[in-house]
């Protein structure tokens, strides 16, 4: 229950920030254009909290259904039968503004989401921090990475001629190139500091409809250095603590067999549920023998200890990067552009049938990732927020009626036609837009549930 509440809290915080930023974009530009704002709402449905603000007595509300929000402006098209706008307020009605001002107000919501993402990236680039280098592990046989000649410990230096310094850079650049061409040129450096060029075939992603983990499909793995069998965290109430294992204990032997790597320790423990194991350990220069009986969990054994981060510190696998404000701004804009371009490419491929619709995620998946990234730290969570903010901005710009992009489409038609669309035409298109959104939501929820409950959706 605690884990579920944590994921829910992380999701609501993420959604709350993005909704407030999006709607504030509409609100701020509307106020700058002189339009009267009646309500700024976070959420839909029953009002949980309200307050009136400013000379216009704009109503700020928090509603029960947190999946979105809206800004209600004075608009003659939304009046009840028999109602009229006071003459002094008529110039401040949204529908009385020129098409340029109306378009600016509509576009301001998605623009605010783009600006939020750039701001997050800008702060991250200025603050700096350690990031994993793009060092690859040995690929499985019969995979594109194996066919390309990727070797254990290869570090990627560039993707299609573009330099990459972090694993995140490598992932983004590779996905962008793979979405455009069937083969991607990589420059790599092996453990002997020798560089070479390889060509990674990425056609398998299209064959799979981009469904699943793309790097696993290509056979790309993160390099796993050999971990020393030194105990780190010892969980309370599990066999490791009961047997007397302590942090910094080094496991030398299990049942008389030498142990030199942490993976050997894990394999022996997991393969011995409810079987007593005699462990020779070294503690502060002394050798001790302990008997540990792994607890059965499913088909494997578990003793409740983790490897020591201090004993297994590999500084060569990390790079620290920090940039001045100007350089960080350029990098942030480029990062936002790259992410947006990749999203648009994937959307196009989905519409063309080249990417499976099962790749579409909904609020359940977002909530899951929000919780996971929040547990990984503030930096990872904020970067996830930036990606979702970009996705929200792009989605709202799609030319679907009822979305911001649909309203911009109306405005473009108004410019071409020389007059606004009729109310009947707009109502018909709104029904189409609602149908499209409901269909997309249904697909997204189905995909979310099929990931969480695969037995129910497998033949």
The answer on pLDDT for 258 being more than 90 is: yes
CA distance 71 to 94: 12
For residues 19 and 246, what is the distance between their CA atoms, to the nearest angstrom?
47
The closest of 373, 398, 402 to 386, measured between CA atoms, is: 373
Beta strand 295-297 pairing with 286-292? unpaired
Domain edges within the chain? 132-224+317-321, 231-312
Ramachandran category for residue 289: left, alpha or beta (phi over 0 → left; psi -120 to 50 → alpha):
beta
Rank 212-216, 250-254, 296-300, 371-375 by mean pLDDT and report only the highest: 250-254
Q: Do domains 132-224+317-321 and 231-312 have the same CATH topology?
A: yes
pLDDT of residue 356: 73
Percent of the residues in the chain that have a pLDDT greater than 90, as a whole number: 51
DSSP letter assigned to residue 98: -
From CA 44, how far away is CA 53, in angstroms rounded? 20
pLDDT of residue 265: 92
Residue 457 has pLDDT above 50, yes or no: no
The pLDDT of residue 439: 85
Flag whether pLDDT at 454 surpasses 60.
no
User: What's this model's pTM, rounded to 2 decimal places?
Assistant: 0.73
Q: Which residues contact 384 (CB under 8 A, 6 or more apart)?
A: 14, 369, 370, 373
Residue 458's pLDDT is what? 44
Residue in the structure block whose two tokens are 């995979």: 143
- The residue-averaged pLDDT of 138-145 equals 92
d(CA 68, CA 44): 7
Q: What is the pLDDT of residues 405-420, one digit of tens each?
A: 999 999 999 899 888 8
> pLDDT higher for 236 or 364?
236
Helix residue spans in 149-217 (DSSP H): 167-178, 203-207, 214-217
Report the pLDDT value the prediction gives residue 294, as an integer from 0 to 100: 94
Q: Which two tokens stand for residue 205?
A: 């992603």
Give the C-alpha distances (Å, rounded to integers) separating 274 from 229, 256, 268, 296, 301.
Answer: 21, 18, 12, 6, 7
- What does pLDDT average to over the chain? 88
Phi, psi of 17 (to 5 degrees): -65, -45
* CA–CA distance, 343 with 176 (Å, rounded to integer): 9
CATH architecture of structural domain 231-312: Roll (2.30)
pLDDT confidence of residue 249: 92
Q: Over pLDDT 70: what percentage of the chain? A: 96
User: Do the beta carbons of residue 404 and residue 109 sit within 8 Å?
Assistant: yes
Q: SS3 breakdown of the chain: % helix, strand, coil, rounded to 5? A: 50, 20, 30
Q: Which fold has domain 132-224+317-321?
A: Pdz3 Domain (2.30.42)
Contact present, 341 and 177 (Cβ < 8 Å): no
- Catalytic (active-site) positions: 23
- Do residues 37 and 408 lie in contact, with contact meaning Cβ atoms separated by under 8 Å? no
Give the per-residue pLDDT at 456.
43
Helices 99-127 and 325-351, axial angle in degrees (round to 10):
120
Reported as a pLDDT band with limits 50, 70 and 90, residue 459 is very low
User: What pLDDT is attached to residue 319?
Assistant: 84
Q: Which pair of structure tokens corresponds to residue 102?
A: 């109306």
In sequence order, the β-bridge partners of residue 39 are 59, 72
Helix (H, G, I), strand (E, B) or coil at 224: coil
Average pLDDT over residues 324-337: 92
Q: For the chain, state the CA radius of gyration.
A: 28
Q: How far apart are CA 211 and CA 204, in angstroms?
A: 10
User: For 87-98, what is the mean pLDDT?
Assistant: 90
CA distance 280 to 282: 7
């Amino acid at each position: 229950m605690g884990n579920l509440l944590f994921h829910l809290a992380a999701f609501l915080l993420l959604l709350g920030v993005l909704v407030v930023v999006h709607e504030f974009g509409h609100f701020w530009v509307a106020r700058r254009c002189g339009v009267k704002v009646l309500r700024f709402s976070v959420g839909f449905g029953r009002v949980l909290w309200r307050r009136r603000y400013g000379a216009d007595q704009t109503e700020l509300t928090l509603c029960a259904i947190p999946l979105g929000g809206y800004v209600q402006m004075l608009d003659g098209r939304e009046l009840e039968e028999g109602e009229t706008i006071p003459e002094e307020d008529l110039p401040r009605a949204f529908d009385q503004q020129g098409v340029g001002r109306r378009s600016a107000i509509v576009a301001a919501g998605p623009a605010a989401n783009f600006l939020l993402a750039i701001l997050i990236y800008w702060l991250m680039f200025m603050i700096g921090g350690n990031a994993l280098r793009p060092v690859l592990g040995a690929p499985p046989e019969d995979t594109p990475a194996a066919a390309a000649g990727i070797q254990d410990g290869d570090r990627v230096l560039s993707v299609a001629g573009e330099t990459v310094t972090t694993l995140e850079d490598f992932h983004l650049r590779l996905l962008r190139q793979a979405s455009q061409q069937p083969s991607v040129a990589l420059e790599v450096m092996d453990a002997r500091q020798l560089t070479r060029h390889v060509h990674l075939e990425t056609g398998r992603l299209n064959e799979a409809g981009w469904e699943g983990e793309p790097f696993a499909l290509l056979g790309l793995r993160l390099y796993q250095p050999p971990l020393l069998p030194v105990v780190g965290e010892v969980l309370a109430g599990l066999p490791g603590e009961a047997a007397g294992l302590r942090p910094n204990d080094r496991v030398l032997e299990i049942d008389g067999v030498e142990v030199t790597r942490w993976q050997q320790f894990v394999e022996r423990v997991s393969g011995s549920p409810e079987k007593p194991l005699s462990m020779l350990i070294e503690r502060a220069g002394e050798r001790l023998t302990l008997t540990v009986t792994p607890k059965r969990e499913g088909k494997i054994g578990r003793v409740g200890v983790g490897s020591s981060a201090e004993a297994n510190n590999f500084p060569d696998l990390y790079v620290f990067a920090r940039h001045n404000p100007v350089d960080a701004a350029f990098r942030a804009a480029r990062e936002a552009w790259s992410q947006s371009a990749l999203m648009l490419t994937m959307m196009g491929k989905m519409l063309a049938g080249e990417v499976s619709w099962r790749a579409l995620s909904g609020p359940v998946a977002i909530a899951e990732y929000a919780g996971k990234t929040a547990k990984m730290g503030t930096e990872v969570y904020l970067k996830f927020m930036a990606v979702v903010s970009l996705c929200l901005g792009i989605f709202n710009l799609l030319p679907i009626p009822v979305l911001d992009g649909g309203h911009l489409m109306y405005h473009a038609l108004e410019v071409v036609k020389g007059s606004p669309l009729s109310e009947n035409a707009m109502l018909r298109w709104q029904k189409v837009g609602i149908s499209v959104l409901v269909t997309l939501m249904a697909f997204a929820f189905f995909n979310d549930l099929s990931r969480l409950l695969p037995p129910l959706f497998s033949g």
